[in-house]
Homo-oligomer: A and B are copies of this chain.
Amino acid sequence: MDSVVLDVDTRRSRIVDLTTSVGDFCAGRGDGLCSVFAPHATAGLALMEVGSGSEADLLDALERLIPRDDRYRHRHGATGHGADHLLPALVSPSLVVPVFGGRLALGTWQSVVLVDLNTDNPHRQVRVSFLGD
């Protein structure tokens, strides 16, 4: 199994498109499974359309579902950081994408994105691995 760690900067956006990087890593490989894994307790990975407003819609929805307020028992970090720790239970940090002929079998409108509500640490890593025949 081959693997690479992507360095992701979340300063500019809470949702970062990783599709090109993940696809580049798989290019030239054969058929197999691509594991995308965020080794963080406040990040998730999603497959979604980007560039048509859904990123902001998702952030709004997450604010409704797990509001970043002071209700949480987990109280390290800034107000609302407790909510960040619930994100990966709803948006898992582990994703598997099938690969054929070195190409991710994504649909036309699917992108692989990192979702990270946590503004305290803008330096994130995502591990991409390929296990093939």
Contacts and interface: CB of A to CB of B under 8 A. Distances in A.
Nearest to A32: B1
Contacts of A7: none
How large, as a class, is the contact surface on chain A? 35 or more
Nearest to A129: B98
B48 A110 contact: no
A56 interface: yes
Contact of A57 (B1, B73, B96, B109): B73
A108 to B, nearest CB: 8
A3 B100 contact: yes
A93 B48 CA distance: 9
Interface in A95-133: 95-98, 100, 105-110, 115, 127, 129, 131-133
A106 B127 CA distance: 10
Interface of A: 1, 3, 31-33, 35, 37-41, 44, 46-49, 52-54, 56-58, 60-61, 65-66, 71-76, 82, 85-86, 88-98, 100, 105-110, 115, 127, 129, 131-133
